[in-house]
Copies of this chain bind each other. A is one copy, B any other.
C-alpha cells in the first residue's frame, strides 16, 4: 500500500485528492498497489470542513512527517512555506511530488540533491506545462539526443490575453480583465504578464535539457505589459501573430535564454496555440522537432501530471531522482542569429527617419503610408543579429527626431 499526504487543499489539491480516489480501483488492478490518501495539510481546518475528505485534514505538518506516509504531494504553490516542508519531507526520507515551479526554479538543485542523498524521489512534472507530459519525455524518451533548442508557450494567462488581442482586437486592459474574470489571471497578475512565470518554467526545462544550471533570474525577460492594439494591427498586416515565447538555444559557449513577445507567422504551429493552451517544441539532434501541447494549468490537467508522478514513484521504487547540474550556464541574452524584426519608431520627422532607416539597413521594408500613422515609421528588417540591430537602432535613437523605438523578434 502507498500512503499519500497532500500539502494544500486549493484547486490542484482538490483535483489530486479526487483523482487519487477515482483511480484507486483501476490502479490496483493494473499495478497490484493500493493507494491511500492519508492526510491533507491545510492552514485552517475550519475553512475546509465542508469539503470531501474533511476527516483527514490536519494543520500539523510534523504530524504528517511522523505518520507512516510514503509520498508527500506539495501543491501549495509559492516558495514559502513549501520550501521548508519539502526539505523536511526529503530529509525524513519521504518521496515528494510537487507542482511548484517557483520552488523548483528557485531551489530545484538543492532539493534534488537532498532527494538523492536520502535515496528518495522528487518528481515535478506538473511544474512545467501543467497536464502536458514534458519533463519525463524530455529526461527519459529523448535521452539519446543532444537538445539543440526549446521554443515554448509556457504561460496560459498571457497566451489567453494575446489570443483575445489577436482574435477580438481587444486592447491590453480589456484582455487582462477577461483573463481575470475567467479566473486565469490573479488580482496581481505581475508574475504572469511580466514573464516571470514563463522564465521560471523555461529555466527548469533548460536546466534539464542542457545539463547546465539556467538560473531564471539570468534569463532575458520581457513581459507583455507593453503590447498594444497597434502592435497587433501592424503584425497582422504582415501575416503575423504575436506570442509570448520562452526560447532557449544551445550555443558554442553558452545558452541563449529569453522570454519575450515575438512575432510568428499566422499559419505557424505556435500561432495556432490559443487561449490557455501551452505548447513546447523541443529540437533534438537525432529526433528533430517534437511538439507537445495541451492544457498548461487547471484543476484536473495539473492533477493528471501529479498523479503520473505518484504512479511513477510507486512503480519504480528503486529509481533515484535526477540531479540538476550546479555548473552555471553562460547565459546569452541577445538573439545573435540573422533574423527578421518588426520595428516601430516614434518620430517627429518621418521622412528623415525613413531615410536613416533605409540607410542603416540593407534589407528594410517600410510599411505603406496608409498603415503608417502620422508620428510613426513601421518597418520589417531582415537578416540582422540582435547585436547589430541594437547598435544601428541606438544610432537612430540619437537623432533628435526619434523619440521611441519598439522591436519584435520574428521567429519562424
Contacts and interface: CB of A to CB of B under 8 A. Distances in A.
Nearest to A299: B286
A221 interface: no
Nearest to A290: B294
Contact of A316 (B287, B305, B316): B316
Given A133-B137, A143-B311, A301 B317 contact: no
A8 interface: no
Contacts of A315: 140, 319
Interface string A103-138: 000000000000000000000010000011100110
Given A145-B304, A284-B304, A303-B144, A131 B290 contact: yes
A272 to B, nearest CB: 6
A367 interface: no
Interface in A189-222: 211
Contact of A144 (B291, B295, B308): B308
A80 interface: no
Given A136-B137, A137-B133, A272-B269, A295 B287 contact: yes
A140 B304 contact: no
Interface in A54-89: none
A26 B143 CA distance: 10
**Residue from A132, A286, A301 with most neighbouring chain B CB atoms (10 Å):** A286
B311 A30 contact: no
Interface in A236-295: 267, 269, 272, 279, 284-295
A140 B144 contact: no
Given A292-B292, A294-B289, A301-B286, A144 B319 contact: no
A326 to B, nearest CB: 14
A288 B303 CA distance: 12
A120 to B, nearest CB: 16
Interface string A309-325: 00110011111000000
Contacts of A311: 140, 143-144
B291 A287 contact: no
Interface residues of A, number: 51
Contact of A136 (B23, B141, B291, B303): B141
Contacts of A318: 316-318
A358 B306 CA distance: 52
A19 B19 CA distance: 39
Contacts of A144: 19, 23, 303-304, 306-308, 311
Contacts of A290: 131-133, 292-294
A300 interface: yes
Given A141-B305, A308-B143, A300 B319 contact: no
Contacts of A146: 26
A133 B125 contact: no
A405 interface: no
A143 to B, nearest CB: 5
Contacts of A411: none
A269 B132 CA distance: 16
Given A137-B137, A287-B300, 13 more contacts: A30-B143, A131-B284, A131-B287, A141-B308, A144-B308, A286-B300, A287-B305, A288-B295, A288-B300, A290-B294, A291-B292, A291-B293, A292-B292
14 contacts: A19-B144, A131-B288, A133-B137, A133-B290, A141-B308, A144-B306, A144-B307, A284-B304, A286-B300, A287-B295, A287-B301, A291-B291, A291-B293, A292-B292
Q: Closest 4 CB pairs between A and B? A: A144-B307, A133-B141, A133-B137, A290-B294
